[in-house]
Amino acid sequence: MIVNRPGVMGMVVNKRLLPWLFLVVFAYFVWAAYWIFQSFIWGYEITSKFTLYTSLLKEPWWIALFYSSELGGVVCTSLRFIAGIFAFYAALLFLKAGGVFTSRVKDNVCRAFVFESGYYLALIPSVILGFVHPLFAEKLWYFNHTPGIPVLLVSGVTCLFMVMVIPSSLLKLRSKIMVGSSGEEIVRQICVVGVSYLFIVFWLNYSLSWIATTVPWMERAQPGIGILLEPISFVSFMATVFGLLAIALSALHYVTSYTRRKEGGPGPRRLGAIITAFGAYFILVVALYLVAGGYAGRPTVWHEMVVPHNPDLWCITFFPLGVKLLLTKSS
């Protein structure tokens, strides 16, 4: 799949994978563009109705925290959109170069990593809000009456781990590329970044969203833990909490095995199986969401997050990439 030569400039990717890699990056860019559009609409909504929202929020410190968190979302999507531009341009150059990692590809990839790191760092106000809100949940307005536990899990705990883990792993990868580390070292750090995303951005994030869905919430369709007795909810829960965990653990085992190897690159079929399962997960949960009637049919934390507010749906395109890897014989 990857030919390792001295330094990043010598890395070459199997040409048969290029269209599928390009598809993934293109989807990342398009979804980032969609979300910057949506976030600017929301940003305009809450700023144009500032008087209304302040009358509901009341406390000056809560007004400041609320707006820093909500407008922080605009900053997040803006940074990811810029990352998407650099990533898309790098993918075009990479495709044109026939899978050779040129200096122009390197520069644009590194810029994309910087802005993607910024995307997660901009979640810091949401982390603060996530831990503060539960302490005063009974006294504060937050989209009507929102229980403290879902906010703690989704905004506090999840975003905290994202802020702590993802930017540092991305910037370390950027550093290795910039200083001219060997292709072997760079591929290993790519594996570390991938595993970090799987455990934190996907498994932890989505699992805590499902746990938040089991919290009783009368204003939503959340009766409590009994929601898991519904077949669609049960399948979605199991696929998320245990299915994503299995994918992440498989990736960790794969990376651990790879880092102990003295020669050769990653085996494409084993990697392809992991990537295919990951893409299939998104296809499954979106299908279950639609079968359940969407958010309108089942207004829960999970159904709000999994499609309407999900910045990760571009990951569906990992499915065809994984299938292609499964069919690849060369290493």
Average pLDDT over residues 313-322: 98
The 10s digit of each residue's pLDDT in 281-309 is 999 999 999 999 999 999 999 999 999 99
Average pLDDT over residues 150-161: 97
State yes or no: pLDDT of 236 exceeds 90.
Answer: yes
pLDDT class of 153 with cuts at 50, 70, 90: very high
Residue 18, φ and ψ in degrees, nearest 5: -55, -45
Helix (H) or strand (E) holding 149: helix 148-151
pLDDT at 228: 96
pLDDT at 6: 46
State yes or no: pLDDT of 140 exceeds 70.
Answer: yes
pLDDT at 65: 97
State yes or no: pLDDT of 120 exceeds 50.
Answer: yes
Q: In the numeric block, which tokens belong to residue 2?
A: 């990857």
Angle at 241 between CA 238 and CA 247, to 5 degrees: 100
Proportion of the chain above pLDDT 70, given as a percent:
94
Which residue in 93, 91, 71 sits closest to 83, CA to CA?
Answer: 91
pLDDT class of 230 with cuts at 50, 70, 90: very high
The 10s digit of each residue's pLDDT in 156-185 is 999 999 999 999 999 999 999 999 888 788
pLDDT at 199: 98
First and final C-alpha spacing in the chain: 5
Residue 293, φ and ψ in degrees, nearest 5: 95, 10
Average pLDDT over residues 43-72: 96
pLDDT at 265: 52
pLDDT at 12: 67
pLDDT at 4: 47
**Local structure of 12: helix, strand or coil:** strand
Average pLDDT over residues 193-214: 97
Q: In the numeric block, which tokens belong to residue 9?
A: 């400039």
The 10s digit of each residue's pLDDT in 1-27 is 554 444 555 566 778 889 999 999 999
Sequence ranges of the domains in the chain: 2-326
Average pLDDT over residues 69-91: 98
Residue 100, φ and ψ in degrees, nearest 5: -95, 135
Mean model confidence pLDDT for the chain: 92
pLDDT at 11: 64
Residue identified by tokens 């009783």 is 216
State yes or no: pLDDT of 218 exceeds 70.
Answer: yes
Average pLDDT over residues 72-95: 97
Minimum mean pLDDT among 4-13, 59-68, 136-145, 248-257: which range? 4-13
Which residue in 108, 209, 116 sits closest to 163, CA to CA?
Answer: 116
Cβ 192 vs Cβ 255: under 8 Å: yes
Cβ 121 vs Cβ 167: under 8 Å: yes
State yes or no: pLDDT of 122 exceeds 90.
Answer: yes
Distance from CA of residue 96 to its chain's centroid? 28
